[in-house]
Amino acid sequence: MRRKIQRRLSIIKGQLGREDSQGFTRLIRNLHPADLAGILNCLEVEERARVINSLEPEKAALVLPEMDLPLERDLLQTLPDSQLSQILEAMPSDNAADILGELPEARTTRVLSLMKKEKAEDLRQLLKYDEESAGGIMTADFFALAGEMTVEEAIERLRRSDIEAISYTYVVDGEGHLMGVLSLRELITAPAQAQLKEIMDSEVIRVTTDVDQEEVANLARKYNLRAIPVVDITNTLVGRVTVDDILDVVEEEASEDIYRMAGIGEEELLNRGIFRATRLRLPWLITTLAGTMFCAFIIKFFEGVIEPQILIALLLFIPVIMDMGGEYWGSIFHNRGAWIGYWPY
């Protein structure tokens, strides 16, 4: 797969220097968004901008969230507000809110003012939540119907819906309070004239907007859920956390734990500049050096007690142990970075 992407990268780099814009546009439009994002990660800033400018807003909306975060930030700076607003309108609310959260406050205000009122209001609401809470990772797009509606009417609504990745139908009362839930299978196999409130499951696994994202992921794993509804303090349904966001949380939390054990922060991984990496790593390197000096002092202190042959053997093993420790944590750092896509192809 990686070799295939490298081949496509070479073709795109070649096309960027040609005048055949139609052939270039056809090429990038046929690529899967995740593959195109991987290719964009390997291009220069100007080249990335040209590729994004050649895409329709709907396709660009699928590509941007798949890019490496620092490279996405660089690309956002090159996009005019009008183009960015069109891309964000075509994007799921949770992804659009994440991107707006990376922008300066003044630019966020400008971009929101160019968007449709309903979408802009949803995004303003999402931006109020902590980014590591259920409210911060949820999407405001969900499929909810009144409990008095029949199955036949619900299926007709489902056919007309443009909501992304519907896994569950949520049943609400007249004020939007969450009453129950139905899986798609339960909905389409139920009698046509049955009311939703008669067949729904009223024992709904739900979270409030302030619940930590790690707890949301744990609930999804424990109960094998593809989405979790999010409610406010009055039990009003305000959003849902979908399985792709849950997987992102699991990956993020696992990476955070691994890097914490190695004394490496995500900031260091994302900021690849040598001076910034040196500043972040220097305290740990000094601590390691201090520990090594302490070991040397202990050996020196007992020099008269330890036999010369044993002393030489100890001195030989010290650099071996230090090197093994460095290789071990260095491997974790590099392999984890490669696994989650922070290293280029």
CATH code (residue 54): 1.25.60.10
Is the same domain home to 112 and 160? no
Structure confidence by residue, pLDDT tens digits, 218-259? 999 899 999 999 999 999 999 999 988 888 888 777 777 666
In this predicted structure, what is the pLDDT of residue 49? Answer: 86
Is the same domain home to 66 and 187? no
Is the same domain home to 83 and 202? no
- Which residues make Cβ contacts (< 8 Å) with residue 286, sequence separation at least 6? none
Tokens of 207: 């979270």
* Mean predicted confidence (pLDDT) in 64-71: 84
Per the structure, the count of domains in the chain is: 3
The verdict on residue 323 lying in a domain is yes
The verdict on residue 217 lying in a domain is yes
Is the same domain home to 203 and 271? no
For residue 332, give the 3-state DSSP assignment.
Answer: helix
Residue 344 pLDDT > 50: no
CA distances from 58 to 47, 53, 301 (A): 20, 12, 70
Strand boundaries in the chain, DSSP class E: 144-146, 168-172, 178-183, 207-208, 227-231, 237-242
Q: Which domain holds residue 278?
A: 263-339
Highest mean pLDDT among 25-29, 80-84, 283-287, 320-324: 80-84
Question: Could you tell me how many residues make up the chain?
Answer: 345
The verdict on residue 256 lying in a domain is no
Structure confidence by residue, pLDDT tens digits, 79-111? 999 999 999 999 888 889 989 988 999 999 999
Is the same domain home to 130 and 169? no
Q: How confident is the model at residue 112 (pLDDT cuts 50, 70, 90)?
A: very high
Q: Which of 242, 274, 295 is the last residue of a domain?
A: 242
In this predicted structure, what is the pLDDT of residue 164? Answer: 79
One-letter identity of residue 55 = L
Is the same domain home to 26 and 127? yes
Domain CATH code at residue 153 = 3.10.580.10
In this predicted structure, what is the pLDDT of residue 335? Answer: 56
The verdict on residue 198 lying in a domain is yes
* Mean predicted confidence (pLDDT) in 287-306: 73
Residue 141 pLDDT > 70: yes
**Structure letter (DSSP) for residue 191:** -
The verdict on residue 104 lying in a domain is yes
**Structure letter (DSSP) for residue 65:** G
Residue among 239, 226, 230, 238 nearest 185 (CA): 226
Angstrom distance (rounded) from CA 335 to CA 316: 29
Is the same domain home to 31 and 86? yes
The verdict on residue 186 lying in a domain is yes
Alpha helices in 145-233 (DSSP H): 151-160, 184-189, 196-199, 213-223
Angstrom distance (rounded) from CA 109 to CA 96: 14
Do the beta carbons of residue 113 and residue 120 sit within 8 Å? Answer: yes
Is the same domain home to 331 and 216? no
- Which residues make Cβ contacts (< 8 Å) with residue 18, sequence separation at least 6? 24
Residue 182, strand partner residues: 169
Would you tell me the crossing angle of helices 33-40 and 2-16 to the nearest 10 degrees? 70
Do the beta carbons of residue 45 and residue 68 sit within 8 Å? Answer: no
Residue 41 pLDDT > 90: no
Q: Which of 137, 161, 179 is the last residue of a domain?
A: 137
Do the beta carbons of residue 187 and residue 155 sit within 8 Å? Answer: yes
Residue among 341, 343, 344, 342 nearest 9 (CA): 344
17-26, 156-165, 199-208: least confidently modelled range: 17-26
* Mean predicted confidence (pLDDT) in 45-51: 85
Q: Which of 207, 242, 277 is the last residue of a domain?
A: 242
Do the beta carbons of residue 69 and residue 270 sit within 8 Å? Answer: yes
The verdict on residue 250 lying in a domain is no
Is the same domain home to 270 and 237? no
Tokens of 161: 């819906």
Is the same domain home to 73 and 45? yes
φ, ψ for residue 110 (rounded to 5)? Answer: -65, -45
For residue 161, give the 3-state DSSP assignment.
Answer: coil
Residue 213 pLDDT > 80: yes
Is the same domain home to 125 and 180? no
Residue among 159, 157, 181 nearest 169 (CA): 181
First to last CA, the chain: 11
The verdict on residue 247 lying in a domain is no
Residue 340 pLDDT > 60: no
Residue 308 pLDDT > 80: no
Angstrom distance (rounded) from CA 192 to CA 153: 8
